[in-house]
Amino acid sequence: MKAERYVVIPFIVLPTIFLVVISVYPLAYSLFLSLFRGLLDQFIGLKNYADMLADRRFHDAVYVTLAFTTITVGLEVLLGLLLAGSLILSSVERKSWWQTVYIVPMAIPPVVSGVIWKILYHPSFGPLNLLALIRMPVPDPLGQPSLALLAVSLINIWMWTPFAFLVFYSGIGAVRQEIIESALIDGASKVQIFRSIVLPSLRTLILVVIFWRFTANLTAFDEIMGSTEGGPGFTTTTLTMFAYWIGFKSWDLGYAASAAVYLLLVVAVVGSSLFGRLGIVRE
């Protein structure tokens, strides 16, 4: 019995070691690093955190990050739901073909997506230039400060709506068919079925997608780097880009680490709130 008792130990110990090495150690090292100027050049305590709060670039980056995340997550969830609902409830044939088409953008590396959209948005070399043929003004979505954030958000939405679609499509597929059929026999419209049967059954999945996309989009980087590099001006400079510039261009890794810690706090607060709603942290 005693030998059997120890059989379980490797199953607990190995994942714990893995977690410590992969997750806890880097986190602890980041916290340690954030107490120094530069690359462990000089110990300065919590000064980086205080400086960061007074740094206007940090304020701007927080605003851009939150605006970007709100726009993208909101639209990705909404469009994902609409696409999944319309495909599953429609009588269109070859649904698997449509599924494949919908998820193609997700398979393209984000930085490549950024470059592709940079060309698509280009007022001279991209398709927008066709507007000139009908004597309409050609917009420059990535070059106008008022449009750039929206344009970059659209790239992220294009890339990640397929993820929301995929999750919701699977979720809707799990709804018992008899319930839907009963509702149809009772004369419910497809919109009513979607609103009253499908949507409530997806509550948990919606929260999971919101959580996943929220944490991922708070740290979005590649598509922004590939399209605007944070410009024009600072209108698309997110917290991750801000930390990248400080950390890997000017080698002030301490200051960059403190930005990362603030970002982690935001993710932790939002994450625990969403997990609370999901009932995952409920004892």
Partner 1 sequence: MTEKENVDRRTWLKVTGGAVAGLVVGGALGYVAKPAEIRTVTSTVTQTVTGTAPPPPPPPPPAKPIKILGFTGALGDALVPVVNAFQKKTGTTIDYVRLGYDELAEKGASLMTVKDTSFDIICQDDPFTPKFYEAGWFEPWENFGWKRDLDLFDGLVDLGTWPTPEYMGPVPPGAREKTPKQYAIGWGGGPCVNYAVRTDKLQELGLGEPKTWDDVEEIAKAAHNPSKSFYGWVNRGTKGDPISFDTFPIFWDYGLESIFDKTWHVICDRPEGVAALEKYLAIAKYSPPGMVNYGATEQGLEFVQGRVMQGLPVPGDVISDVEGPNSKSAGKLKWMLPPAGPARRVSIIGLFCMGISTYSQNKQAAWEFIDYFLSKQGQTVYTTEGKTWPLRRSMWMDPAFNSQPWVKPLYPGSVEMFDAHPQPYPRTTLWLSLVNIWGGYLNLALTGEISAREALSKAKVELEQELKRAGYIK
Contacting partner 1 (CB under 8 A), which of 123, 221, 266, 278? 123
**Residue 4 binding partner 1, by CB under 8 A:** yes
Residue 145 or 173 having the CB closest to partner 1: 145
**Residue 57 binding partner 1, by CB under 8 A:** yes
**Residue 130 binding partner 1, by CB under 8 A:** no
**Residue 243 binding partner 1, by CB under 8 A:** no
Q: Which stretch binds partner 1 (CB under 8 A): 93-101, 174-182, 228-236, 268-276?
A: 228-236
Contacting partner 1 (CB under 8 A), which of 127, 145, 173, 276? 145
Residue of 200, 283, 65 whose CA lies nearest to 275: 283
Count residues near partner 1 (CB under 8 A): 47
Per the CB < 8 A criterion, the answer to whether 221 and 243 are in contact is: no
Contacting partner 1 (CB under 8 A), which of 98, 221, 234, 275? 234
186 φ, ψ (degrees, to nearest 5): -75, 0
**Residue 29 binding partner 1, by CB under 8 A:** no
CB neighbours of 127 closer than 8 A, spacing ≥ 6?
120
What's the DSSP call for residue 196?
Answer: I
Residue 8 or 185 having the CB closest to partner 1: 8
Q: Is 52 left (phi over 0), alpha (psi -120 to 50) or beta?
A: alpha
Length of the chain: 283
The distance of closest approach from Cβ of residue 13 to partner 1 in the complex, given in angstroms and rounded to an integer, is: 5
**Residue 112 binding partner 1, by CB under 8 A:** no
Helix (H, G, I), strand (E, B) or coil at 257: helix
Q: What's the one-letter identity of residue 56?
A: R
Residue of 118, 143, 122 whose CA lies nearest to 131: 122
Per the CB < 8 A criterion, the answer to whether 281 and 229 are in contact is: no
The distance of closest approach from Cβ of residue 142 to partner 1 in the complex, given in angstroms and rounded to an integer, is: 5
Q: Is 135 left (phi over 0), alpha (psi -120 to 50) or beta?
A: left
Contacting partner 1 (CB under 8 A), which of 33, 246, 257, 260? 246
- What's the token pair of residue 20? 């410590």
Q: Which residues bind partner 1 (CB under 8 A)?
A: 1, 4-6, 8-9, 12-13, 16-17, 20-21, 37, 39, 51, 54-57, 118, 122-125, 138, 140, 142-145, 227-234, 237, 245-246, 248-252, 255
